[in-house]
Structure 1
């Protein structure tokens, strides 16, 4: 990825995206809401925005959700 592509990606970032650190702080709560069939994205729009664009955090979400729902 060159400098222009990085700049375009940065400028295209959803302003609601709260970033990795904050998303990870509440990911367990977000997963519990999803597993319960509740509106997690409505309750935590910043987390939803972040998970939509961050592959590593999205993978953490999917893994945690799988662990919670396989009980």
Structure 2
């Protein structure tokens, strides 16, 4: 099995990708918009591009989303 297509996908970078630093700066906003039923990917397309490309940031998004949506703070 040739892994070139997989490697090519891994190496491709979406020019809209905001990178980890900017993603972490707006992660909470992206989560809030998601929970409000908004379409955060329309407002922050670079964030969506980054979450698709960066596993660790996508995990942070999922973790924060789960923590906030299932909180016992009230």
Give TM-score scaled by structure 1 length. Answer: 0.84
* Per-residue deviation, residues 7-27 of structure 1 (Å, max 9, x unmatched): x70xx1000001000000000
Residue 35 of structure 2 corresponds to which residue in structure 1? 35
2: CA distance, partners of 1:36 / 1:70: 14
* Per-residue deviation, residues 25-70 of structure 1 (Å, max 9, x unmatched): 0000000000111010001111110001100000000000001111
Q: Give the secondary-structure state (helix, strand or coil) at the position aligned to 1:59.
A: helix
RMSD: 1.5
Unmatched 5+ residue regions in structure 1? none
Unmatched 5+ residue regions in structure 2? 1-6
Residue 23 of structure 1 corresponds to which residue in structure 2? 23
